[in-house]
Structure 1
Amino acid sequence: MIQRIFFATFFSLFLSLAAFSQAVIEFEELSHDFGEISEGTKATHEFTFKNTGNEPLVITSVRASCGCTTPQWTKEPVAPGATGKITAVYNSQGRPGSFNKTITINSNAVKSSAVVSIKGMVARPNASTPAVAPSAEALKNSPILRAERSSLSLGKVEQNKSILVDVVINNEGASELIIQSFSSPCNCFVLDRSSLSPIAPGKQAVVKAIYTPKVLGAVKERILIQSNDLTQKAVEFNLEAEVVESLGKKSLLKEGNKTSF
């Protein structure tokens, strides 16, 4: 009789402890509005989440509500107190008008399913209305973007591991320079908007970007920097790297590896 009572008590205690040992996923935001974007833009947004539980959080699957949205996510377990990211990339090519898409995240968290959403308006270019060239006065007062370097070699990097890159930019114009976006055919180089602020005339600033290599082997990525510089449509630079499956135990992201150019 005593043994049965002891066993029942021990089993209840075990179940109680197991119930309290769980991962918990909490997002900083559950929706993002891109506003109006031009058709052909690949609009990208990162949803950051934190594991507020006491067990490692593992994302088991991420599904978008349509093929026009490509999700990427943190693949490794997220330790208690650590953060991870869900990146949503919306391809607006051939999709004029408003959009509202969802991404469903499944994990081992106490609430196993979570949903984030993106929305916006895709503006179709009006071919019948020719672009108006800026006036001579506007060009004279325009900011002028100059990247400190036109190319960067990263050496060996790990596939699907994000690398923080510091982009050094000079404003050689007469008014404030505003960086609008980074774009690339690989859709692997995105602007960290949290680092953005206007760059005064004659000043230099560091703009942060995140590079996530996707294709194995030697790669050369073409990156375009868009801004409010009226004298040029975009500034181009090239990024080269050797993408490998694994760098062993070292992780560029965990070590806070940062590359500047």
Structure 2
Amino acid sequence: MNPKSRKLNSLVSLNRLSFFALLLVATSSLQAQEWAKKMFATLEHDFGTVAKNSKQEFRFEFTNLYEEPLHITGVRASCGCTIPTAEQDTIKTFEKGTILATYNTEAFAGARGATVTVTFDKPYFAEVQLQVAGFIRTDLTFSPSRLEFGEFSISDKPRMEFNVSHAGVSDWQITDVRSKKSYYEVEILERTQLANQVGYKLGVQLKDNIPVGYLQDHLIIVTNDLQNQEIKLPVTGKVSAPVTLSPASLLLGIMQKDSEITKRLILRADQPFTIDSLKCDHPGVSFKLTGDEPKKIHLVPVTFNSGLSPQKVRATITAKVNLNGEITLTCPLSATIE
């Protein structure tokens, strides 16, 4: 083989090696992002059709599924129509974090979308991309711009009123108000009509079947405008549990074989209640209940026996309490046995 042929073959081999090296790096990079994507409940949100100057927010929720703490170094958006915020920058094991996406309806109009990029540097580097879309109408306003119920208990059954104003044709109408959830009761209280403007006053009552936890939802206002028939009105709040259990999770850390550790659960309510049962799906967990009389606060020692085998333990404590009916509470437990 002449020197030119050997040189050509060497270049071909080098190019092939470079190609496969780049392919390997790209594949590894994609796989490296997957651990971060798995934490998110959803990777996209469509605000739908919304009113100009209305307050539109969505929280992308994620859970740290790993033993190491997470750390977010930054969030950015590809368009000014969406303003992203990392509401927590450090998230421990089993804790939840949120990326708040605020849709900028004051500065933009029409169809708008953005890619929100979340950057992690711990436990490893990764970037997760979240998609946001929507359509901002300039002929429609809500007052208030969203239904913010704040924090309340189920027994409060809060109620709010809001106004809808439409500029344009005089025969514009609201024909229905819908929701994918069954815990809203909506009624039209009043309709006003001027030459080029139509207004509505509506009332919203929350029913007692609303679940405990954060309320992040929307009502769908259905109109006779066939081109833009549905408009979303955000609904937010926090439904307080009648009974709370703390801590939210028991993180026992690293333990030696054949050892024990005791922690304490606190169950609390505004009214006296009883504990019907406390169970765990791991055999090494035991509880010490003192009496069955109703109390506002129950302090329960929890003992974990590590056993004789090295392992990673992931378990769930389930408490059933009685306060005007049975209520079920859960608490995750984790430990590493060496």
TM value normalised by structure 1:
0.44
| Higher normalized strand content (fraction of residues) | 2
Greater relative CO, 1 or 2 (CA 8 Å, sep 6+):
1
TM-score between the two structures when normalised by the length of structure 2 = 0.35
